[in-house]
Structure 1
Amino acid sequence: MEFEKHTPTVVGDTQKLSSQDLESQDIPAGNSKDEKLEISIRSQQPSDNQDHSELPRDATEDEIASLPHVTDKVPFAAWAVIIAGAGERFTYFGLIAPWQNYMQYPQGKEPVPGALGLGQATAVNIYNAFFLFSFLTPMLFALISDLWLGRYKTLMLGLVLYLAGSVILIATSLPSALDHGAGIGGLAAALILTGLGAGSVKATFVPFLGDQYLQSKPQLVRRKTGNLVVVDGPRTLQFIYNAYYWFTNIASLGSIPVTFLEWHHEFWSAYLLAAATLSVSIALFAFWSPKLVKVKPQGNVLPQAIRVLVCAAKNGFKLDHATQTYQRTHHNKLVKWTDSFVEEMRRGMIACRVIFFLVIFYLCIAQMYNNLVSQASQMLLGGVPNDMIQAFSGVACIIFGPIMQGLYEVLARRKIPFGPIARITTSFVFCGASMAYAAGVQKLIYTTGPCYDHPFNCPESGDGKQPNNVSVWVQLPVYFLLAIAEILGFVTAFEYAYSKAPREMKTVVQALTQLTAGVASLLGMAISPVSKDPHMVIVYSCLAGAMGISAVVFLWRFRRYDRIDSQLNQF
């Protein structure tokens, strides 16, 4: 289905206002920006004189405040995108899971398989460079999506690039290709193509999934039990993204068969499985294409947004001073944008400021794919691949995902607020705890023989074959803590970026949020020279401390946004 714009069918979060309504309000001059926004929206709320004779109908302000909120029915199109997207995630985890071993260790080394022999610090650096590249490219694909192709076609383009990179990686990881020196060149080409593919997915998938659920005002409905409830759009969107993340973590278990293939049948077989799954994902997107909601390109408003920001900077760095009304009144100047566009930008910038605070969070999560893999290799594996342990993060997400969704339902029924800012803050706490625990595990490794703080680098290791005498299962709580952090942090970030961004800028805002992960990758590259023995206890401890500080500052800076969260949503 092609839509010039969404035609709302069922639900939203609260009474939604047009931007023209917002700009027409007479707001007291002394109020803060957030207070202005809250007052302007409350002044438009409907009266509560409606009866229950005809249901469903738009819910009143009192009904929204007093009645239980429930999720709406999730359309088939959303489930289709979730399932096909899970295939792409299987490929992503299937490709990156073996990379640390592939890059760090030489071919034929025991007990850990390898190929290129670049060492831990260099491998971590390449890892972070890839992540940086894949987090910078979303802006390119956001422009392509908004100006020319739309989200669906841009997503499909990225998946094809993804597949091309996977095929190159398969070909150049064959033993004969490695023997002829094709490994490094093939890896470089594969990283570029898969980075472009990942960038396309990061820019388009989350807003494309959100597009599948069409929203309107909150609806009052009567359940079969006779109870009145409010069908809540943002809670439905939260459920959709939680469901996607749950399926994503099922897909992440693909790292288990991939790592066993890596250990027992060479790296190329692992990459072959990942590429085959991606082919299925592309086929599903194509097969279900007629049933998917596809928003046509609406023109990129980024140049106009930049002009608004420049105007605000010239007028005391106040966005209010960039409005058409202010410019006409104070400077007798006519600008090309409307007051409503400036108001939409204000809400979108709130989302960007919140998401940009996830830099340290992204950096800590990235440890799962490099330094924590290396940490596991220094421990007694008992026949388990060192790069398979990270799969337990996915297992934990599968377990805790429904539990967290149930917790949200209980809190909603009891009217206990647990808004997005509170959820992200809690995710920071769990993430910091995971890094603190990782520091403790590393300290245990360094205080245990045979090689203590230089694992594999002592005569007692038998030419680098004997790790320190610590079981790898001691590392498991790190992944469980990170899993809870991911559920609370990433899912909320998806929802926040989509619901707060202006309609014409949802792909751009999603791309901008990926810059946060790009900055995290830059920080990862900066600390990579010290990401080696015997400094890893300090590295993990510093990450834990930085995460704790981020949690405190984040809550202090943004907690007020939870009070007006429903008014900030833009659908």
Structure 2
Amino acid sequence: MEHPPQFDEEHTPGALGLGQMNATRIYCAFYIFYYVTPLFVAPVADSRLGRYTTLVVSVIMYCAGCTVLTVSSLPGILAKGWGLSGLILSMVLIGLGGGGFKAIMVPFIADQYTETTPRQKVLQSGEVVVTDYQLTLQYIYNLYFWVGNVGSLSWFATVYIEKKHGFAGAYGLTLGFMTIAMLMLIFGKKWFVRIPHKNNAIPQATKIIICAVRNGFRMERTNPEYQLEHHHKKVTWSNRLVDELTRGLRACRVLLAFVMFYICFDQMQNNLISQAAQMKTDNTPNDLLPAMNQVGCILLGPLIQEGLYPFLHRRRIYIKPITRIAIGFGFVALAMLYATVVQHAIYSSPPCFNQPMNCAYRDGLSKQEHMEDRPNVWIQAPLYFLIASGEIFAYVTGLEYAYDHSPEDMKVIVQAISLLLGGVGSACAMALAEVARDPNLIWLYTSLTAGMAVTALIFWLLFHKYDRLGPDVSEHDPTTETTINLEKESCQHQDCTADVSDSHAKAANIVSPKLIQPLKKAHMPASELSLLQLGSETTLCITDGYAVGEYAKSAPSSVHGLLLDDNYLRKGREKDEKPATN
């Protein structure tokens, strides 16, 4: 979009010649559309067609958009002036298909993991482990993010094909990959878990929110019992839907902070590419550098998931979602600070200084001559590693948080809302397009640095209390479902205090019984129950044949363990009930 048609070694490849400011605007407008689309797709997926069928339709539309993009990039088509119209049509199709894909794929992947209750397992080594739903879900999303970045390594091939052979070949490569993905999705249907769509929960959710507004913005006042007691009114919704919607709204509040994250993230696809074009490239394509973001995600992802987290878990340190997101925001702020430093280095380089793209034409210098004193383009690489760290901590956790805290019948809708915030970020980035030009770029990156740092601080101060609250996932609740299925022998036949290999535990995405503190005494003060908290909101206590807890005094001696849920225990204290045991 930015550069005119040129394919020689000295110039940056281009086709439409719209300039940096207009290219940035079109890019941001596309992503606004891309992120708004899921709001219209989500109700269809959740209540009409189901997630799988809607996903297939989205991928077909995505492939159609890639086809139009490839054809409209052929030299003959560009020569006839149809390049811009083809680009716009492809953006519409890719926005519809890609936006729907992005919203549905996240809950669809989580649907494939059906083992939602903790389960004792014995590894081939004979070691005893216990699966944990929350840690496994975290692992799934980190793996999903990692695999996506492996696929994004095609960026290296794409930019070199673009530079050597033109845009049509580059887009044709991605069209081929998407066609393979479409065929895998269609012909692999029998292997996927396909959750049937349910009744549309949006009308009921809307009524609950309106009722909450009328009752002083208090969600607890929308419960059927409250409405009947105080307003003598029978409502059509249940307490469960109110609780689920409350958690969903809490998740949306948390995700609001991602607007600033997306503003900074968008720079990677527009202004930072332009920044690379202002530097000494030595025949390196200027749009190659963002691929280092994928490299960073591929390298850092396993180090964090398989190294850092298990290291902390062995020391009983569990970084909860809000903390992980705040850490990610901090890395993004550092990335924008680094971009500021790089831009300052460019503006300090003679002979062009703060007009790096204009002085060649003004002074009659060749591009090679006025680039000689510029910083090398590869000093930009650490910036993308910082963004990658921010994605791993913040973006991946945001996906996990949105899924885990959303109502069962509104999983895709909450994901769509989280994507909509990306659209808001792109709209804000579009507003910044006016200053995205020389000599204002240092101030642009400085402002983004300050904005992201302030957002991280405010986010932590407002929401860190949510780390003490967990998703009350009813399908995992021992009060509403059958109790834990311990498929293997109980700890009466195993040494639960044995030193379990952390490497084995890590490989199986499980919590080691070594981390689940065995207790010998029969009773435990309620004040100490919080000590049993692990990484998730429910904890399986493996004991030596005794039920533990002051609310299980009458449990038979055959009871092997006790599922402690903090919310249920609190209610149990109020109602003098004991938790379910197995």
TM-score (norm 2): 0.78
Q: Which residue of 2 aligns with 1:462?
A: 365
Separation in 2 of the partners of 1:331 and 1:175?
Answer: 70
Q: How does 1:80-159 map to 2 (within 5 A)?
A: 103-108=1-6, 110-159=10-59
What is the aligned counterpart of 2:238 among 332, 335, 338?
338
In the alignment, structure 1 residue 502 sits paired with structure 2 residue 388: no
Q: Which residue of 2 aligns with 1:62?
A: none
Q: For 1:229, what is the secondary structure of its paired residue?
A: strand
Does the aligned pair in 2 maintain the 1:456–1:463 contact within 8 Å?
A: no
Q: Which residue of 1 aligns with 2:449?
A: 544
Separation in 2 of the partners of 1:178 and 1:569?
Answer: 56
Separation in 1 of the partners of 2:200 and 2:356?
Answer: 53
In the alignment, structure 1 residue 161 sits paired with structure 2 residue 61: yes
Q: 1:461 to 1:504 in 2, by over 3 A?
A: farther
Separation in 2 of the partners of 1:566 and 1:312?
Answer: 21
Q: For 2:129, what is the secondary structure of its paired residue?
A: strand
Q: Share of identical aligned residues, percent?
A: 40
In the alignment, structure 1 residue 490 sits paired with structure 2 residue 395: yes
Q: For 2:103, what is the secondary structure of its paired residue?
A: helix
Q: Which residue of 2 aligns with 1:246?
A: 146
Following TM superposition, by how much is the alpha carbon of 1:224 offset from its aligned partner in structure 2, in angstroms? 5.2
| AA partner of residue 25 (structure 2) | N
Q: Which residue of 1 aligns with 2:559?
A: none
| AA partner of residue 316 (structure 2) | K
In the alignment, structure 1 residue 385 sits paired with structure 2 residue 266: no
User: Which deviations, in whole Å up to 9, do the C-alpha atoms of 1:246-304 show, x marking residues without a partner?
Assistant: 11111111111000011000111100001010000011112211010001111221121
Q: Which residue of 2 aligns with 1:444?
A: 345
Q: Which residue of 2 aligns with 1:208?
A: 108
| AA partner of residue 501 (structure 1) | S
Does the aligned pair in 1 maintain the 2:247–2:471 contact within 8 Å?
A: no
Separation in 1 of the partners of 2:59 and 2:122?
Answer: 43
Q: 1:570 to 1:512 in 2, by over 3 A?
A: farther
| AA partner of residue 494 (structure 1) | L
Does the aligned pair in 1 maintain the 2:252–2:417 contact within 8 Å?
A: yes
Q: For 2:266, what is the secondary structure of its paired residue?
A: helix
Q: Which residue of 1 aligns with 2:270?
A: 370
Q: Which has the higher helix share?
A: 1
Separation in 2 of the partners of 1:268 and 1:158?
Answer: 23
Q: Which residue of 1 aligns with 2:549?
A: none
Does the aligned pair in 2 maintain the 1:241–1:494 contact within 8 Å?
A: yes
What is the aligned counterpart of 1:415 among 301, 312, 316?
316
Separation in 2 of the partners of 1:104 and 1:343?
Answer: 49
Q: How does 1:249-268 map to 2 (within 5 A)?
A: 249-268=149-168
User: Which deviations, in whole Å up to 9, do the C-alpha atoms of 1:525-566 show, x marking residues without a partner?
Assistant: 111111111111111111110110011111111111112236
Q: Which moved more, 1:218-227 or 1:160-169?
A: 218-227
Separation in 2 of the partners of 1:105 and 1:524?
Answer: 20
Does the aligned pair in 1 maintain the 2:404–2:471 contact within 8 Å?
A: no
Q: For 2:48, what is the secondary structure of its paired residue?
A: helix
Q: For 1:236, what is the secondary structure of its paired residue?
A: helix
Q: For 2:235, what is the secondary structure of its paired residue?
A: coil
Q: 1:127 to 1:291 in 2, by over 3 A?
A: same
Separation in 2 of the partners of 1:129 and 1:196?
Answer: 14
Q: For 1:543, what is the secondary structure of its paired residue?
A: helix
Q: Which residue of 2 aligns with 1:220?
A: 120
What is the aligned counterpart of 2:84 among 164, 184, 189?
184
Q: How does 1:554-569 map to 2 (within 5 A)?
A: 554-565=459-470, 567=472
In the alignment, structure 1 residue 229 sits paired with structure 2 residue 132: no
What is the aligned counterpart of 1:432 among 333, 349, 373?
333
Q: Which residue of 1 aligns with 2:70?
A: 170
In the alignment, structure 1 residue 308 sits paired with structure 2 residue 213: no
Aligned residues: 469
Separation in 1 of the partners of 2:379 and 2:394?
Answer: 25
| AA partner of residue 411 (structure 1) | L
Q: Which residue of 2 aligns with 1:352?
A: 252
The alignment yields a C-alpha RMSD, in angstroms, of 1.5
Q: Which moved more, 1:105-114 or 1:247-256?
A: 105-114
Q: Which residue of 1 aligns with 2:417?
A: 512
| AA partner of residue 389 (structure 1) | L
Separation in 1 of the partners of 2:135 and 2:18?
Answer: 47
Q: 1:199 to 1:297 in 2, by over 3 A?
A: same
Following TM superposition, by how much is the alpha carbon of 1:567 offset from its aligned partner in structure 2, in angstroms? 4.3
Separation in 2 of the partners of 1:478 and 1:274?
Answer: 26
Following TM superposition, by how much is the alpha carbon of 1:460 offset from its aligned partner in structure 2, in angstroms? 4.3
Q: Which residue of 2 aligns with 1:46?
A: none
Q: Which residue of 1 aligns with 2:304?
A: 404
Q: 1:208 to 1:394 in 2, by over 3 A?
A: same
Following TM superposition, by how much is the alpha carbon of 1:413 offset from its aligned partner in structure 2, in angstroms? 2.3
Q: For 1:526, what is the secondary structure of its paired residue?
A: helix
Separation in 2 of the partners of 1:197 and 1:461?
Answer: 47
Q: For 1:230, what is the secondary structure of its paired residue?
A: strand
Q: Which moved more, 1:453-462 or 1:468-477?
A: 453-462
Separation in 1 of the partners of 2:116 and 2:180?
Answer: 34
What is the aligned counterpart of 1:329 among 206, 223, 229?
229
Following TM superposition, by how much is the alpha carbon of 1:450 offset from its aligned partner in structure 2, in angstroms? 2.5
- Bigger Rg, which one: 2
Following TM superposition, by how much is the alpha carbon of 1:142 offset from its aligned partner in structure 2, in angstroms? 0.6
Structure 1 unaligned blocks of 5 or more: 1-102
Separation in 2 of the partners of 1:412 and 1:306?
Answer: 41
Structure 2 unaligned blocks of 5 or more: 477-582
Q: For 1:137, what is the secondary structure of its paired residue?
A: helix
Does the aligned pair in 2 maintain the 1:421–1:562 contact within 8 Å?
A: yes
User: Which deviations, in whole Å up to 9, do the C-alpha atoms of 1:204-227 show, x marking residues without a partner?
Assistant: 000000000013322234445555
User: Which deviations, in whole Å up to 9, do the C-alpha atoms of 1:332-367 show, x marking residues without a partner?
Assistant: 011111111101111111111111211111111111
Separation in 2 of the partners of 1:461 and 1:414?
Answer: 64
Q: Which moved more, 1:323-332 or 1:214-223?
A: 214-223
Separation in 2 of the partners of 1:461 and 1:158?
Answer: 50
Separation in 2 of the partners of 1:415 and 1:570?
Answer: 27
Q: 1:566 to 1:148 in 2, by over 3 A?
A: closer
| AA partner of residue 358 (structure 1) | F
Does the aligned pair in 2 maintain the 1:500–1:570 contact within 8 Å?
A: no
Q: Which has the higher contact order (CA 8 A, sep 6+)?
A: 1
Q: For 1:144, what is the secondary structure of its paired residue?
A: helix
Separation in 1 of the partners of 2:343 and 2:474?
Answer: 43
Q: Which residue of 2 aligns with 1:61?
A: none
Separation in 2 of the partners of 1:570 and 1:200?
Answer: 26
Separation in 2 of the partners of 1:557 and 1:359?
Answer: 16
Q: For 2:49, what is the secondary structure of its paired residue?
A: helix
Q: Which residue of 1 aligns with 2:383?
A: 478
Separation in 2 of the partners of 1:238 and 1:216?
Answer: 13
Separation in 1 of the partners of 2:448 and 2:256?
Answer: 17
Q: Which residue of 2 aligns with 1:16?
A: none
User: Which deviations, in whole Å up to 9, do the C-alpha atoms of 1:139-182 show, x marking residues without a partner?
Assistant: 11111112221111111111111111111111111111111110
Separation in 1 of the partners of 2:155 and 2:108?
Answer: 26
What is the aligned counterpart of 2:182 among 282, 293, 296?
282
